[in-house]
Structure 1
Amino acid sequence: MSAPADAKPPSKLEHTASWYAASANAAPARPALSADVSCDVCVVGAGFTGLSSALHLAEKGLKVIVLEAARVGYGASGRNGGQIVNSYSRDIDVIESKYGQTTGRALGDMAFEGNRIIRERIATYGIECDLRDGNLFAACNAKQLEALRHHQTLWQRYGNDSLELLGGDAYQREVGSNRYTGVLIDHSGGHLHPLNLALGQAAALESRGGVIYEQSPVVTLEHGAPVTVKTADGTVRADRVVMAGNAYLHGVMPELERKSMPCGTQIITTEPLGDELARRLLPNGMAVEDCNYLLDYYRLTRDNRLLYGGGVNYGSEGPADIEAVIRPKMLKTFPQLKEVKVDYAWSGNFLMTLNRLPQFGVINDNVYYAQGYSGHGVTCTHLAGRLISEVMTGRDDRFDAFAGLPHQPFPGGRMLRVPLSALGAWYYEARDRLGI
């Protein structure tokens, strides 16, 4: 079960008991910080945001130290569905309508860049992470299928020409389920083993001279020049800091937590299905997410397990019996798996914002942050790392396009944000069921 958002992390944290952890590439256990050190940039958090930022900065010749409270990829970066999904949790047309054409164009021009960065990293550093091409969005009713037509047109306007819409029964070329009315395939997307991607980028950072300390949760951050970052047994003094803890900051910077909310999601992974059954479920091995507000997502692993996730727990507390929650969702999609055993079940937290768009910014001119990807973080975290490296080395226009987005606190404050968000989710879930 995931820890409550306000809980302090225990003294030592290991990877959750997921299929990812069980199948992870070999990686060293890095020591905890136990000295006073200095650097150009201190990055707090060794997930995708932190590792992407650190690697981009190290490639530019800066001395980088990463502090991780647990293990590399411990949080959402090592637990998610592993899908390379383009754009953001709110798509470009919503950004255009709410924040204007200039902001929409700026973010639209970057909407597919995170995907490219991931693939560049894998190719440049030879990261073994089970990369496969193709993901698709599945419509559960006619209204959602029409929205996918609009989605295709929108993305094509911003340069994604790798889209294919399949209506009627044609979608069963890709998904062996009777649940849908059509799908939109993004051939430029894909899926991978996210924990191995994180571990590979950590090794790449170290090859560039970066240093990672694990089991080193930050106790306090003191603003100034330099910034002083303290752990239980050591101190880092840095010219600049990147806060990349997302849903796992644990109260270190309350000013970053007031306008966001940790949320839990759950995943199960079946026993190996065998080649024949796996091909019947997903004939071409693409990753799938449906178009519901509380969406389901799934894909095949390299050993032909079905990895299936879905649902949201607002406030980050997960259910005691994850399989009991997710298995019925899986069987609704694939009733032919009724007798199949589940080998792994786990939960993890992601960070949600009220407008479902990421929060970028800088505090006191030398503490940078990027967080709140709202369930759409695999690609955007990698973009964030590049933009942080840009703004630190003289180019600020692209970072500022995100930093200029307005963010408001959740209605009701910390006390009422969970029940009010759950009530809103119930409303949209009811609309999905009714197809309205």
Structure 2
Amino acid sequence: MAHTAYPQSYYAASANPVPERPELNGEVETDVCIVGAGYTGLSTAIALLESGFKVSIVEAAKVGFGASGRNGGQIVNSYSRDIDVIERSVGPKQAKLLGDMAFEGGRIIRERIAKYNIQCDLKDGGVFAANTPKHMKHLESQKKLWERYGHTQLELMDAKRIREVVDSDAYVGGMLDMSGGHIHPLNLALGEAAAVESLGGVIYEQSPAIRIDRGANPVVHTPNGRIKAKFVVVAGNAYLGNLIPELSAKSMPCGTQVITTEPLSAELAKSLLPQDYCVEDCNYLLDYYRLTSDKRLIFGGGVVYGARDPANIEAIIRPKMLKAFPQLKDVKIDYAWTGNFLLTLSRLPQVGRLGDNIYYSQGCSGHGVTYTHLAGKVLAEALRGQAERFDAFADLPHYPFPGGRLFQVPFSALGAWYYTLRDKLGV
């Protein structure tokens, strides 16, 4: 079988050393088989292993190969659709449960980093940057909303104050969340994989799940082996393919693009982001950026519906970077890559159970670093028989894209065009 390597990203080039992990050969028995060694799978495995379960993970490529090892590396609270949207669509008890969980993922990440001594360049502080007065009003409402759920590490910033943390003329203000922050995402995944193995879990790489036999004792098949389990957790997200057809009908892989500059001088890096916070703007198709530990600027944005790889990523993203930081016009780009995330029509995650023993979580809709860590804890609770928080997610309404899979891409692109036009017009 062909060996799938990491994409040529800055993260792969700067990753911590990792051991060679075996392919699955032959038959294995375990309590829980997890499909996918990204954040959802790894977080679930750690929580289950800490509770005494025997866990095996099958991964089609390498740990963190998908979105977990390619994203912007930003710790951002809540969900892709915020709590006020949830409050309007579900009952008060369910909304309260989901609201109370909206800030837990970041805490789980920090707890895991501390407990397992994960070296992933954790930095505190995340900025939501307002491009327009309308964005600023939204942030004012968001601050009140989050504080209603006990989240108080927030500061509204006017035009003068945001210039103290972002050297750009692009913004009229913003909001600082000191419980946000940023990490080297692939190194976080690799550190969590090491934690899984330190607890007795086993990870099989280059071992894609090609079939799941459902029933009282489900079996996960790979090209050269199979795992018999009491439970299966499906955590493939945008890289799951059609393994579970009923899951692919209600979601769509999308690509986002990222570039990384050459190392900047210490003076230039300090001038761009003096406090070393990460930043995302408030547009529907948002831009996001931060500094790395070796003083490069990572800048991402854009969406390709259907997860096609653009021919020239730098041509798409560099103009966005220069709009925020024209002072970087002569800076060289060293890395450019794309990564897929899974979009749902509601932009809320899909969580559920197939039969009695196959669990899944997917569809972070571009907001996955914190949510996936929460999801792993919630899935582990459900397998232990504590399903209240799991059910709060599982009961969220979800619908297939209009027109089925054939029209997923044009429908979503039309919606994105509409919201992008609104962003440009400031309405």
Q: Structure 1 residue 162 and structure 2 residue 153: aligned?
A: yes
Q: Deviations over 1:345-380 (max 9, x none)?
A: 000100010000000000111000001000000000
Inter-partner Cα distance in structure 1 for 2:364 and 2:39: 11
Give the Å deviation of 1:434: 0.6
Q: Which residue of 2 aligns with 1:322?
A: 313
- Of the three residues 62, 65, 79, the one matched with 1:74 is 65
Superposed CA RMSD: 0.7
Q: Which amino acid aligns with 2:424?
A: R
Q: Structure 1 residue 131 and structure 2 residue 122: aligned?
A: yes
Q: Which residue of 2 aligns with 1:227?
A: 218
1:284-323 aligned at under 5 Å gives the runs 284-323=275-314
Q: Deviations over 1:283-318 (max 9, x none)?
A: 100000000000000000000100000010111112
Inter-partner Cα distance in structure 2 for 1:31 and 1:93: 45
Q: Which residue of 1 aligns with 2:341?
A: 350
- Of the three residues 25, 28, 47, the one matched with 1:37 is 28
Q: Which residue of 2 aligns with 1:6?
A: none
Inter-partner Cα distance in structure 2 for 1:207 and 1:170: 45
- Of the three residues 203, 219, 223, the one matched with 1:212 is 203
Inter-partner Cα distance in structure 2 for 1:301 and 1:415: 40
Q: Which residue of 1 aligns with 2:37?
A: 46
Inter-partner Cα distance in structure 2 for 1:415 and 1:199: 36
- Which stretch shows the higher mean deviation, 217-226 or 341-350? 217-226
1:166-315 aligned at under 5 Å gives the runs 166-315=157-306
Inter-partner Cα distance in structure 1 for 2:3 and 2:338: 18
Give the Å deviation of 1:336: 0.4
Q: Structure 1 residue 398 and structure 2 residue 389: aligned?
A: yes
Inter-partner Cα distance in structure 1 for 2:44 and 2:145: 29
Inter-partner Cα distance in structure 2 for 1:64 and 1:397: 23
Give the Å deviation of 1:246: 0.2
Q: Which residue of 2 aligns with 1:149?
A: 140
Give the Å deviation of 1:12: 2.3
Inter-partner Cα distance in structure 2 for 1:420 and 1:359: 20
Q: Which residue of 2 aligns with 1:3?
A: none
Q: Which residue of 1 aligns with 2:96?
A: 105
Inter-partner Cα distance in structure 1 for 2:358 and 2:204: 19
Q: Deviations over 1:16-64 (max 9, x none)?
A: 1000000000001201001101000000000000000011101111110
Inter-partner Cα distance in structure 1 for 2:96 and 2:195: 33
**1:77, 1:378 within 8 Å by CA — same for their partners in 2?**
yes
Q: Structure 1 residue 56 and structure 2 residue 47: aligned?
A: yes
**1:265, 1:318 within 8 Å by CA — same for their partners in 2?**
no
Identical residues among aligned pairs (%): 62
Inter-partner Cα distance in structure 2 for 1:98 and 1:63: 38
Instruction: Provide the aligned length of Structure 1 versus Structure 2.
Output: 427
Q: Which amino acid aligns with 2:82?
A: D
Q: Which amino acid aligns with 2:349?
A: P
- Of the three residues 113, 118, 140, the one matched with 2:109 is 118
Inter-partner Cα distance in structure 2 for 1:99 and 1:167: 34
Inter-partner Cα distance in structure 2 for 1:121 and 1:400: 25
Q: Which amino acid aligns with 1:135?
A: G
Inter-partner Cα distance in structure 1 for 2:220 and 2:2: 18
Q: Which amino acid aligns with 1:286?
A: Y
Inter-partner Cα distance in structure 1 for 2:30 and 2:159: 58
Q: Which amino acid aligns with 1:49?
A: T
Q: Which residue of 1 aligns with 2:324?
A: 333
Q: Which residue of 2 aligns with 1:14?
A: 5
Q: Deviations over 1:161-198 (max 9, x none)?
A: 10000112221011000000101000111000010000
- Of the three residues 396, 402, 411, the one matched with 1:411 is 402
Gaps of 5+ in 2: none
Inter-partner Cα distance in structure 2 for 1:65 and 1:357: 28
Secondary structure of the residue that 1:143 maps to in structure 2?
helix
Q: Deviations over 1:122-159 (max 9, x none)?
A: 00000000000000100000000000000001111111
Secondary structure of the residue that 1:109 maps to in structure 2?
helix
Gaps of 5+ in 1: 1-9
Give the Å deviation of 1:393: 0.6
- Which stretch shows the higher mean deviation, 414-423 or 264-273? 414-423
Q: Which amino acid aligns with 1:137?
A: F
Inter-partner Cα distance in structure 2 for 1:249 and 1:424: 25
Inter-partner Cα distance in structure 1 for 2:215 and 2:3: 29
TM-score in terms of structure 2 length: 0.99
Give the Å deviation of 1:274: 1.3
Inter-partner Cα distance in structure 2 for 1:11 and 1:242: 25
Give the Å deviation of 1:280: 1.0
**1:261, 1:315 within 8 Å by CA — same for their partners in 2?**
yes
Inter-partner Cα distance in structure 2 for 1:249 and 1:412: 22
Inter-partner Cα distance in structure 2 for 1:131 and 1:435: 34
